[in-house]
Amino acid sequence: MADKVAFGKLAAKDYAMGVAFVAVGFAIVFGLSGALGLELEGFLLVIASVVIGVAAWMSYLRKRDD
């Protein structure tokens, strides 16, 4: 398994996948907060969304390199 991701060697498709993962993270977090009736600040929802999206993207990049 690759220890580091070479960001300089990533293609535009890889960065587009990162944006897509963050967008899915937004959908998950905002959907769950609305469904559960949580009254959270907007910046907390955005931070949680970005963390989920980036973690999924990094997992994708590492699995792709195997």
Task: State pLDDT tens for residues 31-60.
Answer: 999 899 988 888 999 999 999 999 999 988
Residue 54, CA atoms < 13 Å, CB-side half-sphere: 7
Residue 17, CA atoms < 13 Å, CB-side half-sphere: 13
Residue 64's pLDDT is 77
pTM of the model: 0.80
| 37 alpha carbon, distance to own chain's centre | 23
Residue 65's pLDDT is 66
Three-class DSSP category at 57: helix
Rounded to 10 deg, the angle between the 42-65 and 12-36 helix axes is 140
